[in-house]
Structure 1
Amino acid sequence: MALKPTIYKTTLNLIDMNRDIYVTEKLMLVLHPSETDVRMMVRLLAYALNYDQDLAFSKGLSATDEPDLWVKRPDGSVSCWIEVGQASPERIRKGVSRADQVKLYAYGSEVDVWWAKHCDALTGLPKTEVYSFPAVQVDRLSELCGRNMELTITLSEDQLYVTAGEQQLEIDLTRLA
């Protein structure tokens, strides 16, 4: 019997001081059976960093031809393709061929090794931005994760402040390329 995805109902209060965006969104995050809580929460950080009223979560890990998040125009073209994790250069090239802009948010304890291996290939890609989050900071996101979440994410410069109730985490964003 196959495991089913888990639904996380989320109220996101977004304060983006970089772009003067102040919104509250009701979201349904879907955790794929093979996905970790941390990865799902990093997808939420990517959503906050790229908020647009047309930004949407895709089908996720089960759809290999779609990114984690994207902005699709009414005509079906893609203006922004967003990946989370340590994607291969081939995967990012697929985004470059289909979208106006591609962003990758890498995280995890092996980001330095992954980046050393793929730096040249990813740095040379047009219209592509690569960022990373420190593993020690994003690993704590699972502490805030719950089936019904109310989170406030405040963005200021290259800092993200994630608050749930009395808990607050500070997460650094580093641009790699």
Structure 2
Amino acid sequence: MAIKSTVFKAQLQIADMDRALYADHAITLARHPSENDERMMMRLLAFALSVPADDLRGNLEFTAGLSDPDAPDLWQKDLTGQLVQWIEVGQPDDRRLAKACGRSEVVKLWAFASAVPIWWQALEGKVVRLPNLEVWQVPADQSKELATLAQRTMQLQVTVQEGQIWVGDASRSITVEPKLLKGLHAKR
């Protein structure tokens, strides 16, 4: 018998002063059996940092992710079905990123873990010509600390100001300072 996904629920309050975005979201996350808390919380962080201010061009949605090798972790599709955002978490290869860049207006990648510098050194030259690709690195110690906030039912606040991100629940707060490795702009 196959192991089923574990369902997590998050009440997410976002105050992103860098984008003038203030919103509340009720999110249901299915954690794949092969996924750990760190990766799941990185998906939740990617959502908070990429969710659009309105739904005029569609909603940002979690996809089947690990269950579907042809799908990203999150995507935003407009009303015609055109991909607006393709969002990956982890360390995909250059072929996957090039394919995503051909299908979507913007591709965002949130890399984490201690092996990111080695992975990026091998990948950087292969993706430099992808104009719609944005790559962020979350330091390994910060992504591991983010994982400590994972609970089956979560109430989280995400505050963003001048590139610094605070993620917290009722008892503690974690600072996340992502580093832009490749982007469309100097600032997120």
Question: Shared fold (TM-score greater than 0.5)?
Answer: yes
Counterpart selection for 1:123 from 128, 133, 137: 128
Percent of residue pairs identical: 40
Match of 1:162 among 163, 167, 179: 167
Q: What residue number does 1:4 align with?
A: 4
C-alpha distance in structure 2 between counterparts of 1:123 and 1:157, whole Å = 26
SS of match in other structure, 2:14: strand
- State the number of aligned residues: 177
CA contact (8 A) 1:158 1:174 kept: no
Deviation at 1:157, TM superposition (A): 2.0
User: Cα distance, 1:94 vs. partner?
Assistant: 1.4
CA contact 2:18–2:163 (8 Å) conserved in 1: no
The separation in 2 between residues aligned to 1:157 and 1:46, in whole angstroms, is 17
2:144 and 2:45 mapped to 1: Cα distance? Answer: 13
Give CA deviations for 1:27-47 in whole Å, capped at 9, x if unaligned. Answer: 001100011110010011110
Q: Distance in 1 between matches of 2:163 and 2:110?
A: 13
CA distance in 1, matches of 2:102, 2:123: 18
CA-atom RMSD in angstroms:
0.9
Which position in structure 2 is the counterpart of 1:152? 157
- 1:75 to 2:80 alignment: yes
1:114-140 superposed Cα distances (whole Å, 9 cap, x missing partner): 011111012221211111000011101
TM-score (norm 2): 0.92
Amino acid at match of 2:32: H
1:94 to 91, 99, 107: 99
SS at 1:3's partner residue? coil
- Partner Cα distance (1:141, 1:175) in 2: 19
Gap runs ≥5 in structure 2: 183-188
Runs of 4+ in 1 over 3 A off after TM superposition: none
The 3-state SS of whatever aligns with 1:166 is coil
1:26 aligns with 2:26: yes
Offset at 1:155?
1.0
